[in-house]
Amino acid sequence: MKLGAIIFLFVVGSTGLSLFYYYQTSRELVLSQMRNRIRDLAHTGSWMFQPEDRRMMRELSSEIHKRQLPIDDSIREMEDGDYLESLSQADIDELQATPEFKRIVQVLRQIRNGSTRTQRTYRPLPQTLLDQNDAPGLKYAYLLITVPDSPEGTYYKFLADSDYEAVDMNNNNQIDEDETPNPVGNWYRSDEVVFEKAFEGRIAAGEEWYEDGWGRFLSSGAPILDEQGNVIAVLGLDLDVKGEANRLEDLWDLCLTIIAVTAILAILISVALSLVLTRPINRLREGAERVSQRDFDTHIKVKSKDEFGLLAGAFNSMVAQIRDYARNLEDMVAQRTRELQETLGKVQALKLQQDGDYFLTNLLANPLFKNWNKSREATTEFYIRQKKTFEFRERPGELGGDLCISGNLRFTGGKRYTMFINADAMGKSMQGAGGALVMGTVVNSIMHRSAANDRVLDISPDEWLHQTYNELHSVFKSFDGSMAISCFMGLIEDSTGLMHYFNAEHPHTVLLRNGRASFIEEESYLSKIGLELRKPDVIVRSFQLEPGDILIVGSDGRDDLRLPHLKDKMNEDETLFLRSVEESGGELDKLVERIMKQGTLTDDLSLIRVGFQEKTVHHSGQDDRELFDTIATQIRERDYTAALARLDKLSTERTGLLYHYYRGLCLSRLDRLGEALEELEVAARMNRDQAAVPALLGNLHYKRKDFSRAREYWQEALNLNPDNVKLQTALKKLEQLNLTGSSPN
């Protein structure tokens, strides 16, 4: 049915549009010819008035205006096409009896009778038709003049009309409506543009014919000019177009008939075509329904060799194959299962090998990313979360290209400086981890060389940073662009807070001062290490820190968030991180928590918090340090109950890593293992670089005989402190117990 409807609409639509275009073109052509014809008649007729005739027109116009009856409301209320007398009957009879008027009327009748088909001798012409079988094409010929004092609107007066008398033109012994006389001086209200143009001195013809009770006519107007070119009157002609209009109507009826016949034929063809196409399609549909009901013995008879026959043959072949598959399904499932198991085994082996590579890389990298800073003036805290996570032999781990390192240096005069670096290697997973591993190795080597044996460097901090940048750049440049890294490295003088730094295309560093966060850099001025796209003359810059200032340095993972409230679109607002720093008060744990709430991480995230001389601003920090020193003394003296009591007096706002670690330690010594595990798990989530927390967690799980968890935490602690002999011994003991299968004491 859809195909039939499409065929019907296409055929009928195209036929209708074509015929409509043909009719409109024909109609416009006929109208154009008629306009040209009546325009030529008006132009020719205007030349039949001699100079004497034109003088008579002026005199007659003057007399009409002089004898005009007063203008009243009946004249003002005239509508388009209305006639109304402007002279008294006596004046009409007198003016129509003058030789001048009769002369003008004769010229008008000559113009009108000039449109007949029969040639006749010259004679005075009556108003009646000379030959009833040869009526003039021009129905009316008349002269119009303007009225100087006419009411508002387009008012004219008839100067003369070829049919000014009441005459029985059709010999039916009565005066019909179209035979009503049009005497001299009659008012005429008309909005026709034709007459406006004619009084402006142009020959014009109507764009369309008009229709009234006497027929269909096309009007034309030609100006009658005096010797100076002024318009005396306008010759108006009305051409009878009834014959042409009737022929156009016949053409329109013919077009409608053709469209109707075409529609009927289209319906018949559509129905026939639908029957031809529907039957084989219905057979295919019925066959498909039987197959869907698991009737695999279905067979469609092929009765033709056309496309439907080919389709039916293909359907039968498909059903036969399905039938074979159904009968051999169990064997096929077993075979596919074996193939999938073999493939899965290969994938698992490759996955294990890959996780082993990840674990080895992680094992190599972890000792390099350390917070070695011991300064109390410029403190540093780290947070690192790599995007890629893995598990190798029940040992979870992370892998990525972010790193954080800190340490301490001494320069000329014994001035102490705190060094910190945050970097993000180019690439994901192994590629990024490789870059971070290289960076960590080189930075640790430089720090070991520069700070060994409390060495005092005889160069300036700027020179040290410049040499460090050149050394790092030369290492990464050797990779020919396949490995590059962005980083921020800073040196802070512990006593003054003057920071020297360089930023190699790393996200802008945030300064939190008096509760307001801002960037210390305005633009990126240095390319990634390993690339030479931008390298200014001055690489190292400086910035003065004030007591209580906090710096937050982070990788681009801080901004690369997928925001759920924006339909998982990526964050493009770099000020979002500034607001997070302000709202968190510069506390690293709260800052990370806010970032996680804002959206989903799409990249590695690493942050370094640097606080300068915070103890001089926050006296509570000194109080906390003294309190924790007292608690540590009580723990060394094994007075765990007293230490726990002091910890319980702390407010929740002053709890941190030391609080949870000391509380877990005290609870474990008092054999409250469940509570101790809860506290130490919190400390483990806050800890990234202290081996004591996972070591103690391993001891507690060992006591609870959860040896798998004990091994996991001890291994984590050993990764953080590879030289710890106690941890090495504990892990070896666990391995021996696993080999012998005995239970530990």
DSSP β-ladder status, 550-554 and 600-601: unpaired
Q: Give the span between the Cα atoms of 180 and 127, in whole angstroms.
A: 12
SS3 659: helix
Between 619 and 659, residue with greater pLDDT: 659
25 has a pLDDT exceeding 60? yes
What would the two tokens of residue 236 be?
């108006």
Between 743 and 548, residue with greater pLDDT: 548
Q: What is the pLDDT of residue 689?
A: 61
Q: Give the span between the Cα atoms of 745 and 736, in whole angstroms.
A: 13
Three-state helix/strand/coil letters over 384-447: EECCEEEEECCEEEEECCEEEEEEEEEEHHHEEEEEEEEEEECCCHHHHHHHHHHHHHHHHHHH
Distances, alpha carbon 620 to alpha carbons 609, 625, 628, in Å: 19, 9, 12
Backbone φ and ψ for 434, nearest 5 degrees, come out as -65, -45
Q: What is the pLDDT of residue 176?
A: 66
What would the two tokens of residue 57 be?
């027109």
What would the two tokens of residue 438 be?
């290289």
| Cβ pair 367, 688 in contact under 8 A | no
- The matching CATH number, chosen from 3.40.430.10, 3.30.450.20, 2.40.170.20, 3.30.70.920, for 48-240 is 3.30.450.20
Domain segments of the chain as ranges: 48-240
Question: Averaged over 315-327, what is the pLDDT?
Answer: 77
Q: Which of 117-121, 272-276, 378-382, 410-414 shows the highest mean pLDDT?
A: 378-382
Question: Averaged over 180-192, what is the pLDDT?
Answer: 86
Q: Give the span between the Cα atoms of 299 and 317, in whole angstroms.
A: 9
Runs of H (alpha helix) within 47-119 = 51-67, 73-76, 89-96, 99-113
Q: What is the pLDDT of residue 351?
A: 65
DSSP β-ladder status, 187-189 and 378-385: unpaired
- With tokens 């030789």, the residue in question is 99
Q: What is the pLDDT of residue 362?
A: 67
Q: What is the pLDDT of residues 627-646, one digit of tens each?
A: 777 888 888 888 989 888 88
What's the predicted TM-score (pTM) here? Answer: 0.42
Q: How many helices (H) and strands (E) does the chain have?
A: 20, 24
Q: What is the pLDDT of residues 393-452, one digit of tens each?
A: 767 777 788 999 999 999 987 789 999 999 999 877 667 788 888 999 999 999 999 988
